[in-house]
Amino acid sequence: MSINIKRILYEKNIISLITSSIGALLGLISFMLLTRELEQKLFGDWVLYLTLSTFFDLLRFGLTSTALVRFASSEDENKNKTYLGTSYLVGLIVVLVIAAIFVPSHFIIAGFNWKINDGYRLFITFYPILALLNLSWNNSVSYFQARQKFKLILFLRITRSGSFVVFLILNILWLHWGLLEVIIAHLVTNLLPSIVVFVKRWDGLMYIRRATRESTKEMLNFGKYSMGTLVGSSLLKSADTFIIGLSPILGSVGIAQYAIPLKLIELLGIPLRSFTITAYPKMSKSSWKKDFDHVKKIFYGYSSVVTILFIPVAVLCFLFAKPLILFLGGNDYKDSLPLLITIFRVFTLYSVLLPIDRFTGVALDSINRPNLNFRKVVIMAAANIVGDLIAVFIFESLQAVAIVTVLFTLIGIFMGYFYLNKALKLELKSFIAEAKSFFLNLRHQL
Distance CA 353, CA 390 (A): 23
Q: pLDDT band at residue 377, thresholds of 50, 70 and 90?
A: confident
Distance CA 382, CA 366 (A): 24
Largest CA-CA distance found in the chain, in angstroms, rounded: 69
pLDDT of residue 13: 60
End-to-end CA distance of the chain: 15
Distances 262 to 80, 206, 341, 388, 442 between C-alpha atoms, Å:
37, 40, 11, 15, 32
- Kindly state the DSSP code that residue 207 receives in the 8-state scheme: G
pLDDT of residue 135: 95
Please name the residue ranges forming H helices in 367-397: 370-393
Residue-wise pLDDT tens digits, 162-173: 999 999 999 999
pLDDT of residue 171: 96
Torsion angle of the four alpha carbons 55, 366, 148, 229, in this order, in degrees rounded to the nearest 10:
0
- For 83-95, what is the mean pLDDT? 92
- For 42-61, what is the mean pLDDT? 92
Distance CA 186, CA 158 (A): 14
Residue-wise pLDDT tens digits, 6-39: 554 455 666 666 777 788 889 899 999 999 999 9
Is the C-alpha dihedral spanning 108, 112, 113, 114 positive or negative? negative
**Of 420, 299, 409, 311, nearest in space to 359 by CA:** 299
Q: What are phi and psi of 211, to 5 degrees?
A: -65, 135
Distance CA 409, CA 412 (A): 5
pLDDT > 90? residue 238 = no
pLDDT of residue 9: 47
Q: pLDDT band at residue 1, thresholds of 50, 70 and 90?
A: very low
> Are 159 and 196 contacting, i.e. CB atoms less than 8 angstroms apart?
yes
pLDDT > 70? residue 309 = yes
pLDDT of residue 11: 54
> Are 226 and 67 contacting, i.e. CB atoms less than 8 angstroms apart?
yes
Distance CA 52, CA 44 (A): 12
Distance CA 164, CA 34 (A): 11
The tally of CA atoms less than 13 A away on the side-chain side of residue 356 is 20
pLDDT, mean over the chain: 87
pLDDT of residue 2: 46
Distance CA 55, CA 131 (A): 12
CB 378: neighbour CB atoms within 10 A? 15
Distance CA 83, CA 57 (A): 19
Q: pLDDT band at residue 139, thresholds of 50, 70 and 90?
A: very high
Q: pLDDT band at residue 407, thresholds of 50, 70 and 90?
A: very high
- Kindly state the DSSP code that residue 335 receives in the 8-state scheme: G
Distance CA 305, CA 434 (A): 8
**Of 377, 349, 353, nearest in space to 365 by CA:** 377
Of 188-202, 294-308, 393-407, which range is least confident?
A: 294-308
Distance CA 80, CA 381 (A): 33
pLDDT of residue 331: 83
